[in-house]
A and B are shown apart, each in its own frame.
Chain A
Amino acid sequence: MSFRSSVRAVRISAALLCVFGAGVVITEFVRLLMVFPQSGAFAVVLELPLVVIGFALLRRLRPTRAPALLWSAAALVWGATAAAGCALLANQGLAGLWAKSEGIKFASNWSASLTAPLNEELLKLCGVVMVALAAPLAVNGPLDGLVFGALTGLGFQAVENVTYGLNAILMSGGTNPDRAVLNSALLRVGTAGLGSHWTMTAVAGAGAGYLILFTRRRRLIREARCAGVTGPKPGHAHAAGPGYGLLLAAKACLVAAVGMHLLFDAPVLAIELKVALNFALVAIFYLLLSSAFLHRARELLAAAVAAGLVDAADAASVLSRRRRRRELRQVHLPADRDKLRERQQDILTELDAEAA
């Protein structure tokens, strides 16, 4: 099978899974939407600012340039459809098992925190893996994984918020459906929004990024062995050693994401504290990954300048969005500006792959 057809197989499978997930969500709520169409639309509209602002902010998390719009949107859509729809079915199944095996009192307190973290974190994480398989240059390491994970989590969070809003109509007896939807959205976006799914999947996504680095490093070593090279393949920063630390980091990220989710859903601690904890964890993790990425990128650029592969002027501006824009503004001829833009993007593409 060729590279192209394997990528096509991934993309078609991902699209089918998204259609399936969307179908499950719609089937689950179609009757409610038929009886309460206005409130259903209100529940969707209330999530739009979260999606639009969240999408724009999370894409800005990548230090040098935003990830591709198409794949950012794909991650968001996966979270909103494939992950959300499959989670509905998986959660119903596992929650039912908790109630039957451990009793309804235990299930009432702990079912959510013992069900959702396992199912949802894995289903959302599959989205990051699918993006990595469908767009090989999109996810190069933990920082990319974190951003795509956050986007997947955001999509999931928005749809979950809508479904909670719709369920709030039922749980309030339909007395004031719009108010029930509004109260639910205020709680889930206003109080819990900063530390909800996007933070957990960001951490899990970083784990997927570590896993990708690990598999790439293993493949490079294998290729080097086949080619008769015994030492690390020159020119590739990640070709040194088998990288079991990366595998460990990948596992730790997944465990941390499940743990964050478990604590978030558990009937302990105030929700504000749990939100703050999740937000702080992901913020610190992001800062560490981001500064490590920039450090490696500067080293690679310095080496490329020393080897005469990159102009010193390009190297000085390429890592900063603002400086890149300023450089582009200074070029007056459109053709020259396009060339410079292309050069900047080429350098960034290489840096994304090698500094990840």
Chain B
Amino acid sequence: MVADRPRLPPGGASPRARLRWLLIVVGLMALLTAGWPLLNSVVADKQQVAAGASLRVGPSGPDSASVRVGPGWTMRPAESDPRQGYLLRRGAVTVSIGYLTLTGTYRAAGIWSGLQRVFRVSNPGVRLASPAAVISGQGRAGLSASATGPRTVGNVTAFVGPSGTYAIQIVVLAPRNAKPVAAAAALLLIRALRFPAVPR
């Protein structure tokens, strides 16, 4: 029992069998890693949003918000989640509406520096101007700043929810030649934002 130390256990895989298993493993990994993204890329990531549809964002209950969108918007379902936010498009304008769960209780001014850093992560090379005060259609105060990049322009707006523990961030981006369109879209969305916890 002790004398001969086997390099292979009894019935251990032969070199051919080992290579066959290696091919199975590599093939399976390639299938999952490349297969799903490939299949995903051939299915259109575009869904028409009905004019006047109200998109609710965040958990159900008072700590949420909704945005009523106008005609002509499409949604990218793969990048949208009612709990976390939506990615919308109309023509050359791209809009992301994000729900942010804050780490404490904040006012709009208190979250801006963090938002700027997060914006840099997803939009490298796009510079944010100093924020200015804005008022939502519901009369809630927020902050908004224009965004300028080498090829894109747009606007970032943030409103803290009534509880102070969450915020809604609206990022509008468009090619440089579509600046007025982007500004108009941002204005419409700011007006259309509603917090259920704010009394009518």
Contact = CB atoms under 8 A, between A and B. Distances in A.
A13 B22 contact: yes
B100 to A, nearest CB: 4
Contact of A100 (B5, B7, B77): B77
B29 A126 contact: yes
A332 interface: no
Task: Tell me whether chain A's interface is mostly helix, strand or loop, or mixed.
Answer: helix
The bracket for how many chain B residues form the interface is 35 or more
Nearest to A216: B11
Interface in B38-86: 38-41, 43-45, 47, 75, 77-78, 80-84
A105 B82 contact: yes
Contacts of B120: 31, 35
Contacts of B82: 104-105, 108
B1 A347 contact: yes
Most chain A CB neighbours (cut-off 10 Å) among B8, B28, B103: B103
A6 interface: yes
Contact of A107 (B81, B103, B118, B121): B81
A217 B11 contact: yes
A173 B17 contact: no
**Most chain A beta carbons < 10 A, residue from B81, B111, B113:** B81
A83 B10 CA distance: 30
A31 B124 contact: yes
A343 interface: yes
Contact of A174 (B29, B45, B114): B114
Nearest to B24: A129
Contacts of B22: 6, 9-10, 13, 130, 133
B35 A93 contact: yes
B101 A96 contact: no
A220 B10 contact: yes
Contact of B40 (A94, A233, A307, A310): A94
Contact of A31 (B16, B83, B103, B121): B121
Given A215-B13, A216-B10, A172 B100 contact: yes
B38 A17 contact: no
Contacts of B28: 122, 126
A93 B117 contact: no
Interface of B: 1-2, 5-19, 21-22, 25-26, 28-29, 32-41, 43-45, 47, 75, 77-78, 80-84, 100-104, 106, 110-111, 113-118, 120-122, 124, 158, 167, 169
Interface of A: 1-3, 5-7, 9-10, 13, 17, 31-32, 35-36, 82, 86, 89-97, 99-101, 103-105, 107-108, 119, 122-123, 126, 129-130, 133, 136-137, 140, 169-177, 179-180, 183, 215-220, 223, 233, 236, 238-239, 304, 307, 309-310, 343, 346-347, 349-350, 353-354
17 contacts: A31-B120, A86-B32, A89-B33, A92-B37, A93-B41, A96-B77, A100-B43, A104-B77, A123-B33, A130-B25, A133-B21, A136-B12, A173-B111, A239-B11, A346-B1, A353-B6, A353-B9
6 closest A-B pairs (Cβ-Cβ)? A93-B36, A216-B11, A174-B114, A96-B78, A93-B37, A6-B15
